[in-house]
């Protein structure tokens, strides 16, 4: 049983992390300007990235809860994929530009002066705060069993690591490796490029309705043993933001009457809605067992569905 206080934490945690990321961005950005540390500047950009992406997801969740209408009969869930794909792409471009600028600066100009020790203060503050935020997020995520919150907490952990790298960079460049600050900045940006690229890929997978293997196998397992179902045909699942749409074909004895078949359908719906979170719609097609194949092949279009058996 989940405690009420944990549920409350779950509602708050995203907003709290949002505030933390934005404050850290401001703090690190300001200190980066004061101390002339490129690594700290890149680190503050990472906090900005986290902030912007969280904002986009939150705004889209609001939008996605708008109900379906005539123009968009499946609802607005996919706006989340669209927005996060675009934002990740733009941030990736910024990071790429920053890598180029840093490289040319490092090679052509070289460091003018070592970064100020004040950068270390900001990095230490960032480490402490991120550690607290990570612990908080992990606690809430584990108690509520939410992978989204856990993934968010992971972001704080990576931010912590980059801040630690900033300390190494600042100390190192003062101790006689003058280019370490630039190199760290570039490494952080390359890391940001990787993270945002993953975000773009994930968004594209969602937008293409890529297959959700784990969910499909799970759904198949759940309904296979319902009585009367002779065979489960194609199972397709797709995500629109957080909403899961499921299409299932089931084969029933061909002499059953429809009303009996509809009883099986409602059993399927009950089981799936109970066992799987986020299901927003289950469509079940009833097919007779007598040797017929999935109906997808009967449409005369080349993109007819490949049977997943």
Partner 1 sequence: MPEKDKCVECAEQLSWVGIWDSAFLALFKGVVGILTGSRALTASALYSIHDVISGVAVLIGFKVARKPADREHPYGYGNAEYIVCVFTSILLLCATVFLLADCIRIFFLGEHSPPNIAALMAAIVSVAANEIIYRFNICSYKRLNSPALLAHAKHHRADVISSLAVVVAVVGGALGYHFLDAAVAIFEAGHLLYLSVELFHQGGSGLVDRAIKESDVSLIRQFLSGMAEVKEVKDIKTRQIGRSVWVDLYVSLPADKTIAEINTISARIRYGIANKLEYLGNINVICE
Residue 285 lies near partner 1 (rule: CB under 8 A): yes
Which of residues 155 and 235 has its CB atom nearest to partner 1 in the complex?
235
Residue 295 lies near partner 1 (rule: CB under 8 A): yes
Residue 227 lies near partner 1 (rule: CB under 8 A): no
Binds partner 1 by CB under 8 A, chosen from 34, 55, 82, 101: 82
Residue 74 lies near partner 1 (rule: CB under 8 A): yes
C-alpha closest to that of 246 among 254, 255, 237: 237
Q: Which stretch binds partner 1 (CB under 8 A): 100-108, 127-135, 188-196, 288-296?
A: 288-296
CB of 68 within 8 A of CB of 79? no
CB of 3 within 8 A of CB of 145? no
CA dihedral sign, ordered 161, 163, 166, 168: negative
Which of residues 169 and 252 has its CB atom nearest to partner 1 in the complex?
252
Helix (H) or strand (E) holding 285: strand 279-288
Binds partner 1 by CB under 8 A, chosen from 256, 267, 273, 280: 256
How far apart, in whole angstroms, are the C-alpha atoms of residue 72 and residue 74? 6
Q: Which stretch binds partner 1 (CB under 8 A): 25-33, 134-142, 146-154, 298-306?
A: 298-306
Number of Cβ within a 10 Å radius of residue 251? 18
How far apart, in whole angstroms, are the C-alpha atoms of residue 203 and residue 292? 37
Which of residues 55 and 286 has its CB atom nearest to partner 1 in the complex?
286
Which of residues 2 and 210 has its CB atom nearest to partner 1 in the complex?
210
C-alpha closest to that of 159 among 72, 46, 304: 46
In the numeric block, which tokens belong to residue 101? Answer: 């600028």
Residue 136 lies near partner 1 (rule: CB under 8 A): no
CB of 160 within 8 A of CB of 21? no
3-state secondary structure of 274: helix
Residue 90 lies near partner 1 (rule: CB under 8 A): yes
Q: Where are the beta strands (DSSP E) in 54-206?
A: none
Which of residues 154 and 308 has its CB atom nearest to partner 1 in the complex?
308
Q: Which stretch binds partner 1 (CB under 8 A): 12-20, 45-53, 120-128, 254-262?
A: 254-262
Which of residues 129 and 282 has its CB atom nearest to partner 1 in the complex?
282
Residue 240 lies near partner 1 (rule: CB under 8 A): yes
Q: What's the DSSP call for residue 225?
A: T
Residue 61 lies near partner 1 (rule: CB under 8 A): no
3-state secondary structure of 209: coil
Binding site for partner 1 (CB under 8 A): 70-74, 76, 78-79, 81-82, 85-86, 89-90, 204, 207-211, 234, 236, 238, 240, 247, 252-259, 261-262, 265, 283-288, 290, 292, 295-296, 298-306, 308
């Amino acid at each position: 049983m989940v405690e009420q206080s944990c549920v409350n934490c779950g509602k708050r945690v995203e907003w709290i992390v949002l505030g933390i990321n934005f404050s850290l961005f401001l703090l690190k950005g300001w200190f980066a300007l004061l101390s002339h540390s490129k690594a700290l500047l890149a680190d503050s950009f990472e906090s900005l990235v986290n902030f912007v992406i969280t904002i986009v997801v939150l705004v889209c969740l609001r939008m996605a809860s708008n109900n379906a209408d005539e123009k968009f009969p499946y609802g607005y869930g996919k706006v989340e994929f669209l927005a996060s794909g675009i934002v990740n792409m733009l941030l990736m471009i910024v990071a790429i530009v920053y890598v180029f600028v840093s490289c040319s600066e490092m090679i052509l100009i070289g460091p003018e002066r070592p970064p100020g020790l004040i950068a270390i203060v900001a990095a230490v503050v960032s480490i402490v705060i991120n550690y607290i935020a990570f612990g908080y997020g992990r606690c809430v995520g584990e108690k509520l069993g939410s992978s989204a919150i856990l993934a968010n907490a992971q972001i704080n952990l990576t931010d912590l690591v980059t801040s630690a790298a900033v300390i190494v960079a600042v100390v190192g460049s003062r101790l006689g490796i003058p280019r370490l600050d630039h190199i760290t900045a570039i490494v952080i940006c390359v890391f940001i490029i990787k993270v945002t690229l993953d975000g773009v890929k994930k968004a594209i997978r969602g937008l293409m309705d890529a297959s959700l293997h784990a969910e499909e196998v799970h759904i198949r397992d759940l309904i296979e043993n319902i009585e009367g179902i002779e065979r489960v045909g194609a199972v397709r699942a797709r995500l629109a933001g957080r909403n899961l749409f499921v299409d299932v074909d089931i084969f029933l004895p061909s002499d059953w009457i429809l009303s009996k078949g509809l009883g099986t359908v409602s059993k399927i719906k009950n089981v799936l809605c109970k066992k799987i979170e986020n299901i927003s719609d289950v469509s079940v097609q009833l097919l007779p067992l007598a040797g017929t194949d999935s109906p997808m092949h009967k449409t005369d279009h080349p993109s007819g569905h490949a049977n997943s058996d």
